[in-house]
Amino acid sequence: MSNVNEIRRQLQEVGTYMMDHDLAWGNAGNISARTAEDHFLITASGTYLGELLADDFVEYCFDGKRSTQDRKPSKEIPMHQAIYEERSDIHAILHASPFYSTLIACSDVEIPSEWFVESMYYLERCERVSYHHPGSTTLGEAVREKAAKANILFLENHGVLVFDTSVKEARMALQTLEFACRMFITANGASIPMKQLPENTVQDFLEHSGYKPRRRWKMNMIGVIADDITGSNDIGVMFGKSNYIADIFSYGPTVLSNVTKDNRDVLIFDTDSRLDDEKTAYDKVYQATLDIQKAGADQFFNKTCSVFRGNIGSEFDAMLDALKEEFAIVVLGFPKNGRTTLRSIHYVYGDKLQDSQFKDDPIHPMKESNLVTILQSQTSRRVGAIHEEIIKQGSKAIKQQIQQMKINEQFQYIILDVTNQNDLYEIAKAVYQEKIICGSSALAEEIPKVQKKRDKAKNLLPLPAKKSEKGLFCAAGSLMPQTYHQINYMKRTGNSVIEFDTFEFLKSDAKNSFVNGLVEKIVKDMLDGKNVVFHSTNTNEKVRETKAEAAKHGLNNTEISKMVSETIAHITSEVIRRTEQYRFVIAGGDTSATVCRTLGIEGMRVWKEIQPGLPSCLSHTNPPYLFVLKSGSFGNETFIEEAFEHLLQW
């Protein structure tokens, strides 16, 4: 056991120091230090920090026992105990209300750490805790939630909480915080612009200067709710580029039983809700958000289509409602895949959304280009926007504008312009600590660059046996022009390309024979060593014929799309079963989801990126699959060829 008398003496000294240096006042505040793994010494209720006597402390145990019944410990026991339980490295906690720090705690101002040597180290991680009554268990639990990823907490409209490896280090952190807050407020009052050190300089200082031992933070787990499987892969690989371990699971009532405790950074639930009605989509996302929170997520991303197809408003609202929150950032731009936003008008490869390839989408034809208009038409929450002129001023201006619009103007969704990758980086610096982010996957590539580095290496699941003597298989159910060009490229380069003629299939009275004939041809070519691309009818004329024939059978566009996807999935399953080739490519979001369900793939880990937003994945199945699920509108014309080469590389 630690020397309790020595710890008591150190706490007496720091209490006097805090009072003498305006870090405490009156009988406000309480301090503690760990004496054993599950014991700590804390000031008694009603004590003055500047006049602490030896008997002004109570030794408290995690099980509720205390060293004396004569004195009551501070009522703030719950938050002290929460920190000691959550952080075994913490040995001292100082809770006080110094003037400048408390002023910041009572505001929405954020204090940067990038000003001077001490602030870079001691203020590296500051978090805010919303107001809860002093001494309440709810305050204790709110502190516990933040304690794993910070060493300074601003308790809103209350004070500050500083904790560190020793009483001396905690005192230094508190004094550094108060000094920085005083500097900030004084500089603002005198209109002196403060110059911050660049992020790379700060990281180099923390990692290599030797100033102090490098802190290793417990990282939060990011929970992503995505409305289709290819979008799940898309955002997974964005995080994966920075060595984040990203796992994807098909969402359903039993999903939590499949989500084992694992060394992951990002957990993604695919709700497959893009084609659902609004209420079904809302209900799925609401419950999925609650479940992903139960699984350990404490930061949330609602991943949607990069052109706002689907149940955008209802799914965004569902996440906010489930988390009891009223604000989210929305970023849809994805410059590397031709999606940009300027003054809230969304463009696809330079064309306004309403004039792009998505204007004739069979399920969600996009007839509007203004993202604010689109989202506002689907939600009762207030939607605003931050335009290019603010974005180009950088992260500080973006952050200030967000605070202005969020607090003063009461916007609940704010959509940000994006015209290039640097815009995304500046946005990431401004919003990476926001609890909820919505939109495309592109921002997920930049967020890890401003979050702290992950300390673990990427975990690799088992690879399926390589069978290079057999051909590889790609099934494509997408009608997007990108997929059309990719198929034609494979045809021009001598691959076996087999069409699933959906018009003839609908007319056929012998559908089983029709399907079996396709399976036989695909299997023969693959066993002969040929790569096969199997695709549904994809010319405009034939698609129109198929829709007309479907109408004769009483099928609408959604129903015929589902029938085609299910038939492709059945054929894919039969081809894999008969060839035992467990490496494959699927093109099209709905097709990908249906194939995964048919093959029993409920979970997968994102592995390596092939082209922007297009990764390979490894399944949580036995036998394992190595596969690529491609969004129909992503990738250049050589993508399928590159994906085949990638699948045979490992």
Q: How confident is the model at residue 457 (pLDDT cuts 50, 70, 90)?
A: very low
pLDDT, position 582? 97
Residue written as token pair 């639990």: 141
Average the pLDDT over each of 260-269, 411-420, 534-543 and give the range with the smallest value: 260-269
pTM for this entry: 0.63
Nearest to 614 by CA among 632, 596, 634: 634
Query: Residue 9 to residues 6, 13, 16, 57, 69: CA-CA distances in angstroms?
Result: 5, 6, 11, 11, 21
pLDDT, position 205? 82
Residue 612 above 70 pLDDT? yes
From first CA to last CA, the distance across the chain in angstroms is 53
Cβ 602 vs Cβ 620: under 8 Å: yes
DSSP 460-516: -PPPPPP-TTSPPEEEE----HHHHHHHHHHHHTT-EEEEE-HHHHHH-S-HHHHHH
pLDDT, position 2? 52
CA–CA dist 53, 368 (Å, integer): 71
Residue 540 above 90 pLDDT? no
Cβ 644 vs Cβ 482: under 8 Å: no
Q: How confident is the model at residue 261 (pLDDT cuts 50, 70, 90)?
A: low
pLDDT in tens, 127-162: 889 899 999 999 998 898 888 778 899 999 999 999
CB atoms within 10 A of CB 611: 18
Domains of the chain: 4-208 (3.40.225.10), 221-450 (3.40.50.10840), 473-649 (3.40.980.20)
The two most distant CA atoms of the chain are separated, in Å, by 94
Query: What would the mean pLDDT of 287-299 be, rounded to a whole number?
Result: 92
Residue 458 above 70 pLDDT? no
Residue 328 above 60 pLDDT? yes
CA–CA dist 404, 411 (Å, integer): 9
Cβ 297 vs Cβ 239: under 8 Å: no
How much helix, strand and coil, in percent to the nearest 5, is found in the chain?
45, 20, 35
Query: Residues for the chain: how many in total?
Result: 650
Token output for 199: 């992020």
Query: What would the mean pLDDT of 244-262 be, rounded to a whole number?
Result: 83
pLDDT in tens, 625-642: 999 999 888 899 999 999
Q: How confident is the model at residue 1 (pLDDT cuts 50, 70, 90)?
A: very low
Cβ 146 vs Cβ 87: under 8 Å: no
Q: How confident is the model at residue 456 (pLDDT cuts 50, 70, 90)?
A: very low
Token output for 210: 């030797």
Cβ 417 vs Cβ 344: under 8 Å: yes
Q: How confident is the model at residue 242 (pLDDT cuts 50, 70, 90)?
A: confident
Distance of CA 99 to the CA centre of its chain: 36
Single-letter code of the amino acid located at 313: G
pLDDT, position 422? 97
DSSP 354-422: GGSGGGG-SSS-----BHHHHHHTT-SS-EEEE-HHHHTT-HHHHHHHHHIIIIIS--SEEEE-B-SHH
pLDDT, position 66? 76
Q: How confident is the model at residue 379 (pLDDT cuts 50, 70, 90)?
A: very high
Percent of the chain with pLDDT over 70: 96
Average the pLDDT over each of 428-432, 448-452, 570-574 and give the range with the smallest value: 448-452
Single-letter code of the amino acid located at 386: I
- More confidently predicted of 116 and 433: 116
Helices 589-599 and 229-240 meet at what angle, rounded to 10? 90
Q: CA angle, corner 574, sides to 568 and 579, nearest 5?
A: 125
pLDDT in tens, 45-90: 989 998 899 889 998 888 888 776 678 889 999 999 999 988 888 9
Q: How confident is the model at residue 211 (pLDDT cuts 50, 70, 90)?
A: confident
Q: How confident is the model at residue 501 (pLDDT cuts 50, 70, 90)?
A: very high
CA–CA dist 576, 467 (Å, integer): 12
- More confidently predicted of 199 and 73: 73
Supply the mean pLDDT for the chain. Answer: 90
490: exposed, middle or buried (Cβ count in 10 Å: 0-12, 13-18, 19+) = buried
- What residues pair up with 329 in beta bridges, in sequence order? 414, 437
- What residues pair up with 154 in beta bridges, in sequence order? 128, 160
Residue written as token pair 């996957």: 441
CA dihedral of residues 152, 158, 159, 164 (deg, nearest 10) = -40
Residue 283 above 50 pLDDT? yes
Cβ 363 vs Cβ 355: under 8 Å: no
